[in-house]
Amino acid sequence: MVSFPYCKRHDNEMQLGNLNKIRHLSYDKSMFNHFGELDSLHGLKGFRTLTALPFEFESRIPGHYLANGVLHELLLALKQLRVLSLSDYRNITVLPNSIGDLKHLRYLDLSCTRIERLPPAICKLYNLQTLLLSYCVALTELPEEMGKLVNLRHLAIDYCWVLTKLPEEMGKLVNLRRLDIDGTDLQEIPVEIARLENLQSLSGFIVSKQQHGVKLAEMRKFPNLQGKLCISKLENVIDPSDACQANLKEKKQIEELSLEWSDSILEDSHQVVLEHLQPSTNLKKLTVKCYGGTSFPNWLGDSSFGNIVCLRIEDCRHCSSVPPLGRLQSLEKLFISGMRSVKSIGSEFYGSNSPSFQPFPSLETLEFKSMEEWEEWNMIDGITTEFPRLSHLSLRRCPKLKGNLPSNLPCLIELEVEDCCVLESEFSGEVDNRNIMRRMNVFNFNSLQQLWLYEIPSLTSFPSNGLPKALKTLFIRGCESLEFPTHEFLHSCKALEDLDIIQEAASQSLMFLEHLEVYGCPELESISLPDSSTPNLSYFEVDKCDKINSLPEPINNLSGLQTLYICDVPNLESIAEEGLPINLRTLVVGNEEGVYSNTDITKWGLDRLTSLSELSIRGEYLVKKLMEIQVPLLPNSLRMLEIEGAREIQDLDGKWLQHLTSLKSLELDKFQFDEDEIGFMFNSNMKFLLYHSLIISKLDRKGSATLS
């Protein structure tokens, strides 16, 4: 146990104090990017640990910077270090040769830096046990003499994207237990790696196409492998018996296995190789990618694999049927994509056609993607549901799919349909995409909360009896013939929270749109509406959209608009250069930060809005402009006027309000001036005056405001 005087976390430059007894120091790199305030570190020979926090990957995304020269000085000063973590310093591109002087170093973390190569001096760290280089995306090579790190147990080079080869001396790292190579561009691994018989974790094994390269049979030399394993470039297997010698079946601690060919070329040998690569029944996750056989081996889908929870079959183009995956009792997630030869899915998928058999008892997520020839999906007669726990169903790019679709999915929460554009009516045989939701009984999926529809050009309308009552999200994209849902239809969706319709819409598709709100979209930059496509739009609101810089142009084309609400849109460059819609009745515009300084309020044509009865202006810029212009801009039809957020205005001149003979309500909010500086007059019809900083006692007959 290490007592307090020997450990310190430094998160405030005033806290250092006396470091003579400190052995282990961690500091928050978001607060310190240089060590000018840590001069006392220099010369502390007893330092053992220096760690830049935090460790979590999520916090690495922004990146941090270490002042030039600091790293070299630290390495010279702290030669007794055992642990050094410099992760996430994005400006570190070169590691000083002085790193080789840290003879006692056991743990070195350089992950998420921009190091391009490691200095040869790093190979002098004979006591180093852990070297972390994850996400060093500029790293192009490792030192050739890496084999000198004889005590190295963990080497992480995952997601070093441009790293293409490993040094031949890797085979000398006889104590290596863990080698992480995910996300690299390695074309092969050195044959000497077969000497690392103590390996317990090898995230990737690449079969060589070279005559003297590493063969699949070498996998037998790693009996203690556990966790995750990806075997790639299986097309390079010349002798299928090598797959048998790999002995995956006896590697009982492997939980996640990926078997990958580089391209799905029709090849009989693939079938034998996959047959021999049968894993242990302890497996939990399995991926088969670009397999070139015409059928799957019997072990895939066998009920003995009762521990599998996730299964992916990708780009197995020559298989004409799917394996009997319904027998996998623990399977929770299933992803099938790119099986271009499959035309029908039925009892072979479920594993039985008996009504007494319950397939997929645990399946929660099912996704089919890029099944170009798939036409029929047949269910089991007499069974209540094939998918009793399914909560997510995705059908993407299955253009020929027709026939029966699942109709009883009691737990379905999310449904996604993309490019299933020739679904045929089961009754007439005619193309009728309006039936897609009816034929799936989508309105009977009582638990459905999210519905996503993409690229279904023949979809023209929503079901007349509505959508599921629990639906919260409706996302539609590329359904250009779809009529915009009526107000009554949307009103019936009581739980609906998010409605997104993105498309190059047909001109009539927005004909029924009456109410449009764009609220809280921080990344949205512009809004456009097709000309004359929204004659019934009466309410338009844009609020809290930081990046929007323009509104539909010209906005005065929205002839039916009666309410316009534009607030907290700080980057808006203009509002109504061609004038506001002539039939406006309510206008709310501005924001308290006082921007919109690029807009010319005189072009709005406020005085022409003879129907305008309610006006709310927010922000001092707009208020000042109204006061500065001598000609009255406000129409005398106004009955309610609100002025808010003009904090810096010291004298509110009431002359620009005197012509408002119909004004019944005036609200002034957040003005910062003294009571005795107020000198403005009101018409005799004024019924309500609210000023949030003062108390108005009465309004006399002459229209003068009396303050008390």
Concatenated DSSP letters of 48-90: -EEEEEP--GGGGSS-B---TTHHHHHHHH-TT-SEEE-TTBT
> What burial class does residue 234 get, using C-beta atoms within 10 Å of its C-beta: 0-12 exposed, 13-18 middle, 19+ buried?
buried
- Whether residue 488 is contained in a domain is answered as no
Averaged over 590-604, what is the pLDDT?
67
Instruction: Tell me phi and psi for residue 641, to 5 degrees.
Output: -130, 130
Which of 418 and 459 is assigned the larger pLDDT? 418
Q: Is the pLDDT of residue 62 over 70?
A: no
Residue 582 lies inside a defined structural domain of this protein:
no
**Could you check whether the bond before residue 120 is cis, i.e. omega within 30 degrees of 0?**
no
Residue 80 maps to which CATH number? 3.80.10.10
Domains identified in the chain, total number: 1
Q: How far apart are CA 395 and CA 408, in angstroms?
A: 16
Q: Phi and psi for 16 in degrees, rounded to 5?
A: -60, -55
Q: Which of 33-47, 162-176, 350-364, 551-565 has the lowest mean pLDDT?
A: 33-47
- In sequence order, the 6+-apart residues with CB closer than 8 A to the CB of 298 are none
Please tell me the distance from the alpha carbon of residue 601 to that of residue 577, in angstroms, as a whole number: 9
Average pLDDT over residues 31-59: 58
Which range (188-192, 313-317, 360-364, 553-557) has the least confidence?
553-557
Confidence of residue 692 (pLDDT cuts 50, 70, 90): very low
Say if 270 falls within a structural domain. Answer: no
> Does some domain include residue 90?
yes
Instruction: Tell me the average pLDDT across 66-94.
Output: 83
Residue 114 within a domain: yes
DSSP strand pairing (515-519 vs 539-543): parallel
- In this model, does residue 37 exceed pLDDT 70? no
Residue 474's pLDDT is 83
Distance CA 407, CA 439 (A): 8
SS3 call for 509: helix
| Cα–Cα distance, 586 to 566 (Å, whole number) | 11
- Dihedrals φ, ψ of 703, to 5°? 90, 15
- The answer to whether residue 564 is domain-embedded is no
Pairing of strands 310-314, 614-618: unpaired
> What's the domain range around 90?
1-199
Place of tokens 């995910």: 182
Give the integer Cα–Cα distance in Å for 60 and 453: 35
Between CA 197 and CA 622 the distance in angstroms is 76
pLDDT in tens, 451-475: 888 887 777 777 777 778 888 888 8
- Cβ-based burial of 452 (10 A; exposed 0-12, middle 13-18, buried ≥19): middle
Count CB-CB contacts under 10 A for residue 35.
19
Residue 161: band (very low, low, confident or very high) from pLDDT cuts 50, 70, 90: very high
Dihedral angle, C-alpha 628, 632, 635, 639, nearest 10 °: 70
Residue with tokens 């009883």, as numbered in its chain: 408
Q: Which residue has the higher pLDDT, 105 or 19?
A: 105
Which two structure tokens, joined as six digits, stand for 16? Answer: 């250092």
- Least confident range of 50-59, 328-337, 406-415, 486-495: 50-59
In a domain, 702, yes or no: no
Q: Residue 74 falls within a domain, yes or no?
A: yes
Residue bearing the bigger pLDDT, 460 or 442? 460
> Residue range 545-567: average pLDDT?
83
Q: Which residue shows structure tokens 């009552």? A: 469
pLDDT per residue as tens digits for the range 241-276 = 999 999 999 999 999 999 999 987 778 889 999 999
Q: Residue 196's pLDDT is what?
A: 93
Contacts 24+ apart (CB under 8 A), 646-654: 646/619, 646/620, 646/670, 646/671, 647/620, 647/671, 647/672, 648/620, 648/672, 649/620, 649/623, 649/624, 649/673, 650/677, 651/677, 652/627, 652/678, 652/680, 653/627, 653/680, 654/679, 654/680, 654/681, 654/682
Q: What pLDDT was estimated at residue 429?
A: 34
State if pTM tops 0.85. Answer: no
Q: How many CB atoms lie within 10 A of CB 487?
A: 13
pLDDT the model gives residue 701: 33
Does residue 468 contact residue 442 with C-beta atoms inside 8 Å?
Answer: yes
